[in-house]
Structure 1
Amino acid sequence: MKARKIVLAMALVFPAIVSAHQAGDFFIRGGAALVRPTGNSDNVLGLGSFNVSNNTQLGLTFTYMATDHIGVELLAATPFRHKVGLRSTGNIATVHQLPPTLMAQYYFLDNSSAFQPYVGAGINYTTFFDNKFNDTGRQAGLTDLRLKDSWGYAAQAGVDYQLTDHWMLNASVWYMDIKTKVRFKAAGESQSIDTKINPVVFFLGAGYRF
């Protein structure tokens, strides 16, 4: 009887161990994804490089654990919207992009740990759409804005914290190699500007394991 009371007391003091990721698991994470461009461009009509603004959208990741330590993850998001400007003129355009990214991941700890740090490497494809000069750009004689889609590498580091057998918290940071050609016409003459966006992406959210 006394032993039973001791076991019950220990169960109340020490919560049940939550199992973490293991082979065959599938989970979804969702949260805020902040894209912060770090690159630059060639000189634009003698006015300096393009400046590309930050933007935050809903980020989603879909992960399958091939083993207890190796996962495959796909990043998706709602479309990111960036303002593009020049130092001398201010914002001249708005562009939209989607950067689906496929990662191979390595999780360092076994599934007895609620903390699950990991790193990943993979490939990014970024597509640009709905790209338009604003009134400032049009008044400067700029028209026909187009951006070439991009393929590049990607890397990430992150950590999950398992709250229950199904729910987790996640924080991660990504780097994406995104290079494009920005094409437009200036006073009727075609221009092509090599541009590196190369964003760092900060993600904070929650996940659910099936």
Structure 2
Amino acid sequence: MKRKLAITGAAALAFTFAGGTAHAQSAGDFYVSTGWLHLAPQDSSDPLFLYGVGGTPINQSVPNTGAGISDADTLALATGYFVTDHIATEFIAGIPPKFDITGKGQFSSFGTLGRAYQWSPALLLKYYFNDANAKFRPYVGVGATYIWFTGAKITNSAFENGVLGGPTSAQTSNQWAPVFNAGFTYNFTKHWFAGFSMSYIPVSVTATFTTARRTPVGTLTETSKAHISLNPIVTYLNVGYRF
């Protein structure tokens, strides 16, 4: 009898995780999730472009130069609302991750050149497949993000003084960009779920460097720019609670 009860209990447990209903994502449901966000730039860059020194136009690129962007990790928080059983809106943002900027080409010997912190909150519209009560629900989504950077700084003094020619400040452009998203959620109970998603964000930014270049005739202001394509792939592993 005990063996029969054990087998029956095991079968019920297996059914619960494999195919039972969870009274999951339905119209009117609100949810929050949090988890690990990994950003992996698929970066490329144009050569450093020198605009001018001391008011004199130069307008010349520096051959065999460039910059790359490191991967970064951060903690993210998302909130969402199911408009229908299959359509949901979601807002996601994270603690601004730090990206290291590395040299390429003739700058590669300097290693890390600087760093910057990225802000990129995003708004998504998602379509969920399967029935609203299904435990496993894949989805696709599309949306937009606004990207800006803070704390941009040249941290390599050898590069700053030896290549740029003196103390340098850095600024980056702000950009709107589309977000293409796909993922799934797995509903453990009526309220608790886990999820995974992957997003692609095609975006490029321009970094502007203003240098107080030391010259034989004194200190002159030099302006240079670098155009960098980031195009990150963003993965989000999370747990959430539905209200």
Q: Structure 1 pair 193/111, CA: closer, same or farther in 2 (3 Å)?
A: same
Partner of 2:43: 39
Structure 2: 5+ residue stretches without partners: 49-61, 214-220
1:22 to 22, 26, 42: 26
Partner of 1:3: none
Distance in 1 separating the partners of 2:192 and 2:230: 34
TM-score (norm 2): 0.78
Counterpart amino acid of 2:160? R
Instruction: Determine if contact 1:94/1:133 at 8 Å carries over to the other structure.
Output: yes
1:48: Cα distance to partner?
A: 2.4
1:47: Cα distance to partner?
A: 4.0
Instruction: Determine if contact 1:93/1:137 at 8 Å carries over to the other structure.
Output: no
Instruction: Determine if contact 1:92/1:136 at 8 Å carries over to the other structure.
Output: no
Distance in 2 separating the partners of 1:184 and 1:166: 50
Moved beyond 4 Å, runs of 4+? 9-12
Instruction: Determine if contact 1:116/1:159 at 8 Å carries over to the other structure.
Output: yes
- Between the two proteins, the alignment pairs up a number of residues equal to 203
Q: Once structures 1 and 2 are overlaid, which stretch shifts more, 159-168 or 185-194?
A: 185-194
Instruction: Determine if contact 1:25/1:209 at 8 Å carries over to the other structure.
Output: yes
Residue 53 (1) aligns with residue 63 (2): no
Structure-to-structure mapping, 1:48-87, within 5 angstroms? 48-87=65-104
Partner of 1:137: 159
Which structure has the bigger radius of gyration? Answer: 2
Structure 1: 5+ residue stretches without partners: 1-5
Residue 93 (1) aligns with residue 114 (2): yes
Distance in 1 separating the partners of 2:23 and 2:112: 50
2:227 to 189, 194, 197: 194
**Identity between Structure 1 and Structure 2 (%):** 30
1:11: Cα distance to partner?
A: 11
Residue 177 (1) aligns with residue 199 (2): no
